[in-house]
Structure 1
């Protein structure tokens, strides 16, 4: 009886959260682009960063977007998108490589918290991607990151231009594709058009976030 009661409470909470989620993927993407524009122009308004906001989100969260980014200390998501407390649900690993714990967190952000937009964001001069291109001898579990990025690095070798920067974009595009095919939660949401997953690359030198064409991988010469 106790387990049934707990499950019922969870379902009610889930439905309530979903009902409150009113920010569409397109609106969320527009907010991110506008925020990044303000940041680049030095006009950040730093929203939702006061004591009132702390109180507002203390009882719950309704982030409007999920950001899957690199752990690099030079890419602070709330700052570059000019957002605040409770706005973004963020998962970060080196090279934004996802595995089971990350996938569960992403699904939670979408299915439970109601975020309808996922942004997979890499960045220029990424050390993890550069390592995958060079395949150095690395210690410990770092090799698992490199192995995950290797397919992107190998495809980048066949393209014109800077190998690492091409690999950064290819890695992002492949990760978007991976999430779109992640069953059952994300795939179902994408097919029903309740979720949009996009790729982006942050430029360390300019602060600008460039969003990838959805068909980027298809345009590459193999």
Structure 2
């Protein structure tokens, strides 16, 4: 099944609505699996026009195209453990905004996140993990500490806080992204995904999500 999509034809609210509709189909076991045929593959050989970029956790249970029921060329996907920002991530997101003109950035976290769990454990025990896992923990620590300062020791609250802080940090770290948000060309939506029921719930947004 093939359907058209072009970032030049939709705004941030409509882009989110497409993802929300796809997620609802996924949750209700009515996925359409659009844009996954040979015709779509051929149509994308010379150019791509994704309508959103999804910056999500690298967890194997968080396959963006599946949970939002989209296909080839629909979304530009960037993934790291715990959706941790680094220079490569910022460069990839700036490319999606400046070159591909995507109107929506989705920051996608999920419950039972191993990276946030490791960070909570490190904060509470005072023992840091070895190797480069330590770098992940250090970058997530501010989110865990904020949640704890607000009296939220629940892991889900820490994960939601990390999604919010990551969303905010994108604009703080990138002038390209900040300018696109200020001009209304791009919005950032923070989302938390439930592993059990498959629902993608909004936890933060830079603009109203009602199209039109």
TM over 0.5: yes
**Structure 2: distance between partners of 1:137 and 1:158:** 20
2:182 matched residue in structure 1: 191
1:63 matched to 2:54? The reply is no
Deviation (angstroms), 1:148: 0.4
1:175 matched to 2:162? The reply is no
Q: Secondary structure at the match of 2:149?
A: coil
Q: How does 1:46-195 map to 2 (within 5 A)?
A: 46-135=33-122, 136-160=127-151, 163-195=154-186
**Structure 2: distance between partners of 1:183 and 1:101:** 12
TM-score normalised to structure 1 length? 0.85
Instruction: Map Cα deviations across residues 82-106 of structure 1 (whole Å, 9 max, x no partner).
Output: 0000001010000000110110000
Deviation (angstroms), 1:163: 2.1
**Structure 1: distance between partners of 2:51 and 2:204:** 22
In structure 1, the gaps of 5 or more residues are: 1-18, 216-222
Residues 1:142 and 1:193: Cα distance change in structure 2 (over 3 Å): same
Does the 8 A contact of 1:49 with 1:84 survive in 2? yes
User: Which of these two proteins has the greater Rg computed from alpha carbons?
Assistant: 1
The number of equivalent residue pairs is 197
Choose between structure 1 and 2: higher helix proportion.
1
1:43 matched residue in structure 2: 30
Residues 1:42 and 1:20: Cα distance change in structure 2 (over 3 Å): closer
**Structure 2: distance between partners of 1:77 and 1:44:** 13
Instruction: Map Cα deviations across residues 108-132 of structure 1 (whole Å, 9 max, x no partner).
Output: 0111011010000100000000111
Moved over 6 A (4+): none
**Structure 2: distance between partners of 1:175 and 1:55:** 35
**Structure 2: distance between partners of 1:142 and 1:124:** 19
Instruction: Map Cα deviations across residues 45-87 of structure 1 (whole Å, 9 max, x no partner).
Output: 0000000000011111110000000000001000000000000
CA RMSD of aligned residues (A): 1.6
TM-score normalised to structure 2 length? 0.89
**Structure 1: distance between partners of 2:182 and 2:129:** 39
Does the 8 A contact of 1:67 with 1:90 survive in 2? yes
